[in-house]
Amino acid sequence: MSSHGILLLNKRSGFTSFDELRYLKRHTRLKKIGHAGTLDKFAEGMLIVLVGYMTKFTQYFVSLEKEYYARFFFGEETDTLDPEGEVIHRGEMPLRQQVTCVLDQFLGEITQTPPEYSAVHINGKRAYRLARSGKQVDMPQRRVQIRSLELLDWQPPEAEFRITCSKGTYIRSLARDIAMASGTRGYVSRLTRNSVGPFHIDHGVRAPEIDLPVHLISPAEAVSRAFPLDIAQVYPEYEHKVKNGVKPSEQWLTYCRKSGSDSGFLLVTDGTDQPAGWYHRDGSRLDTVYIPTESGL
């Protein structure tokens, strides 16, 4: 069986993303494995696991939009901004209207300061390692996109939200900032990543239940579900050039599938319908993503 593709993992709360990958490596004997976007230890939900040469696609799957269900606890702030931390600030319990009135401030493109306890690199070191050692951490701000922010339930001192956002968004920072804008303090008490792009938690599988022949999604299917995908066969006389890393000219190809988009992926196959090259297309620009070798189609 080919060991290339993606797994839709429903990450368990209480395990780090790397814990889950280590478990999969140990129990499936997969040699090359990665993920498209870390989830905090206390969080659960959709984690896209990239297997084999699909690890070359990490940056593209990381860029997909995410949807979260989050429970915010108002009136206290922990140092980690999650339930595993120590309470460092307290505030009054806000009224529901105080919270709903500030939500529009956090829609669209906003500036966020990531939590000190995060995996952000600061001078080559992880921020959480610096924070744990007691060092002062100057966190760089970042621009993120919040497409939707909906208050679903209000049960003081907690409230549940549905959030759709861009890559790089910290829901823990969002909880802190919404609470402060409401005149109090807050942290995330529960977090579920509901979806990543078109991949929904309903199709996710817990790590102990993963069965590779059943749950591994092929590279072509995985890419086509998330991005525009063109598939073309290279003419025999040009096959050796493509397999040696030469980017294909349009005149070398005959298409069996066209997405109609000038941005997305191109899969070039050889005469046996095996991958000869994967490329990312952005207008007239064509970037090589992966060229298979004889031992790693």
Residues annotated as catalytic are: 40
- Give the per-residue SS3 of the chain: CCCCEEEEEEECCCCCHHHHHHHHHHHHCCCCEEECCCCCCCCEEEEEEEEHHHHHHHHHHHCCCEEEEEEEEECEEECCCCCCCCEEEECCCCCHHHHHCCHHHHCEEEEECCCCCCCCEECCEEHHHHHHCCCCCCCCCEEEEEEEEEEEEEECCEEEEEEEECCCCCHHHHHHHHHHHCCCCEEEEEEEEEEECCEEHHHCECHHHCCHHHHCECHHHHHHHHCCEEEEEECHHHHHHHHCCCCCCHHHEEEEECCCCCEEEEEEECCCCCEEEEEEEECCEEEEEECCCCCCC
CA-to-CA distance for 61 and 65, rounded, in angstroms?
9
Q: How far are the Cα atoms of 107, 164, 285 from residue 195, in angstroms, in the given order? A: 19, 9, 30
CA-angle at 277, arms to 275 and 279, nearest 5°: 130
Say which amino acid occupies 68. Answer: Y
Q: Other CB atoms closer than 10 Å to residue 137's CB: what's the count?
A: 18
Helices (runs of H) and strands (runs of E) counted in the chain: 8, 18
